[in-house]
C-alpha cells in the first residue's frame, strides 16, 4: 500500500474516531432534565396499545415530539415496538431530524444488548429496562452495557418484589401504575411504593396520570418525573393538550 493511501486511511480512521466519540458524548441527560424541570413531564409518543388498539394511527414522529418540546416537556418517550405498539426506531431518528433536542427515552421491551445499540444509533438519550422482563443478573449486565454505550437507564418496577432491582445502579427508578397482567392502571401504586425506593434516586411515576393535581401530589411524595402518553395522544393536538396540562400545574 502506498504512503498516500496510508495517509488517507489514517485520516479516515481519525475522523471515524471523532464521529464515534461524538456519538457517545452527544447525549442529553434524562436524569438532569427531570431534576432541572419544574414539571418533570416525560410526554410519550404512543400510537397504539395492545389493550386498546390504535390511539392515533396517523400520529407523526416529525410533528408530535417536536410539539411536546415546544409545549414544555422535560423529555419525550417514544415507543419503538412495532408489533404491539405500532412503533419504530425510525420514529426517534425522525424526531431528532425534526429538531427535538430534549432527552428521548427509547421505550421497548429490552432483553438483549443489541437493542441498546439500536437505541444509541437512532439517537436516544436513555433506555427503559423492565424488571419484570429480566433476571437481576440480566438487568445488571444490561445496565452496565447501557452505561458503556453512553445511555442512561430508567429501570421500571411494578411490585414490592421488584424493588431490590433498584440496587443495581440505574440512573432513574420508575414505578409503573399499570398492572402488566390486566393492563389496569392505578396511580396509588406509585404512592404505595415511593417509600420503598432509595431516597437519593430520581423517581418516575409511569402510566395512568391524567390530572395535574395528581402530578402535584406525586411530586410531594418524592417523584421528579411523570411519564404521560395516552392522555395527550388521544387529543386532537397532543402538543396543545400538554401545554394546557402544564398551565394547570
Find the CATH number of the domain harbouring 215.
Answer: 3.20.20.70
* Rounded percentage of the chain residues whose pLDDT exceeds 70: 94
Q: How far is CA 135 from the centre of its chain?
A: 21
Q: Which one of the listed residues 207, 230, 231, 241 is annotated catalytic? A: 207
**Residue 213 within a domain:** yes
**In sequence order, what are the residues at sequence separation of 6 or more whose Cβ sits closer than 8 angstroms to the Cβ of residue 17?**
none
Q: Which one of the listed residues 48, 77, 152, 156 is annotated catalytic? A: 156
**Residue 70 within a domain:** yes
Record the pTM: 0.91
- 4-13, 113-122, 161-170: the lowest-pLDDT one: 4-13
**Residue 16 within a domain:** no
**Residue 103 within a domain:** yes
Residue 107 to residues 115, 125, 154, 231: CA-CA distances in angstroms? 11, 11, 10, 17
**Residue 8 within a domain:** no
Q: Which one of the listed residues 37, 206, 231, 241 is annotated catalytic? A: 206
What are residue 76's phi and psi, to 5 degrees? -125, 140
**Residue 20 within a domain:** no
Q: Which one of the listed residues 48, 107, 152, 177 is annotated catalytic? A: 107
pLDDT at 63 exceeding the cut of 70:
yes
Active-site residue, 156 included? yes
**pLDDT category of residue 64 using cuts at 50, 70 and 90:** very high
Q: Which one of the listed residues 46, 48, 56, 203 is annotated catalytic? A: 46
**Residue 2 within a domain:** no
Q: Which one of the listed residues 176, 190, 231, 241 is annotated catalytic? A: 176
Among 231, 178, 180, CA closest to 42: 231
**Residue 19 within a domain:** no
In angstroms, the CA 75 to CA 72 distance is: 9
**pLDDT category of residue 183 using cuts at 50, 70 and 90:** confident
The answer to whether 188 touches 162, Cβ cutoff 8 Å, is no
pLDDT of residue 50: 87
Total domains, the chain: 1
Q: Is 80 helix (H, G, I), strand (E, B) or coil?
A: coil
Active-site residue, 46 included? yes
**pLDDT category of residue 151 using cuts at 50, 70 and 90:** very high
pLDDT at 181 exceeding the cut of 80:
no
**pLDDT category of residue 22 using cuts at 50, 70 and 90:** low
pLDDT at 25 exceeding the cut of 60:
no
In angstroms, the CA 180 to CA 159 distance is: 11
Note down the domain range covering 70. Answer: 27-248
DSSP class of residue 73?
A: -
pLDDT of residue 27: 72
pLDDT of residue 119: 97
**pLDDT category of residue 23 using cuts at 50, 70 and 90:** low
Residue 159 grid coordinates: 411490585
Active-site residue, 152 included? no
Cβ burial, residue 238 (10 Å; 0-12/13-18/19+): buried
pLDDT at 93 exceeding the cut of 90:
yes
Amino acid at each position: 500500500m502506498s504512503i498516500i493511501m496510508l495517509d488517507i486511511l489514517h485520516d479516515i480512521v481519525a475522523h471515524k474516531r471523532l464521529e464515534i466519540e461524538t456519538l457517545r458524548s452527544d447525549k442529553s441527560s434524562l436524569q438532569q432534565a427531570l431534576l432541572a424541570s419544574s414539571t418533570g413531564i416525560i410526554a410519550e409518543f404512543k400510537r397504539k396499545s395492545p389493550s386498546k388498539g390504535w390511539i392515533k394511527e396517523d400520529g407523526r414522529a416529525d410533528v408530535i415530539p417536536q410539539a411536546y418540546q415546544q409545549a414544555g416537556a422535560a423529555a419525550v418517550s417514544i415507543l419503538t415496538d412495532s408489533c404491539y405498539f405500532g412503533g419504530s426506531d425510525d420514529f426517534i431518528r425522525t424526531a431528532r431530524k425534526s429538531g427535538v433536542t430534549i432527552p428521548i427515552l427509547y421505550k421497548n421491551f429490552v432483553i438483549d444488548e443489541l437493542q441498546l445499540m439500536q437505541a444509541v444509533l437512532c439517537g436516544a438519550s436513555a433506555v427503559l429496562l423492565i424488571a419484570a422482563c429480566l433476571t437481576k443478573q440480566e438487568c445488571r449486565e444490561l445496565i452496565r452495557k447501557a452505561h458503556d454505550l453512553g445511555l442512561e437507564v430508567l429501570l421500571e418496577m411494578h411490585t414490592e418484589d421488584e424493588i431490590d432491582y433498584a440496587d443495581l445502579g440505574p440512573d432513574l427508578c420508575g414505578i409503573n401504575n399499570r398492572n402488566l397482567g390486566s393492563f389496569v392502571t392505578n396511580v396509588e401504586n406509585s404512592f404505595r411504593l415511593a417509600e420503598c425506593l432509595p431516597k437519593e434516586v430520581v423517581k418516575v411515576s409511569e402510566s395512568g396520570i391524567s390530572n395535574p393535581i395528581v402530578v402535584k401530589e406525586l411530586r410531594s411524595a418524592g417523584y421528579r418525573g411523570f411519564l404521560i402518553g395516552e392522555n395527550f395522544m388521544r387529543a386532537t393536538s397532543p402538543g396543545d393538550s400538554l401545554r394546557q396540562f402544564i398551565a394547570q400545574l
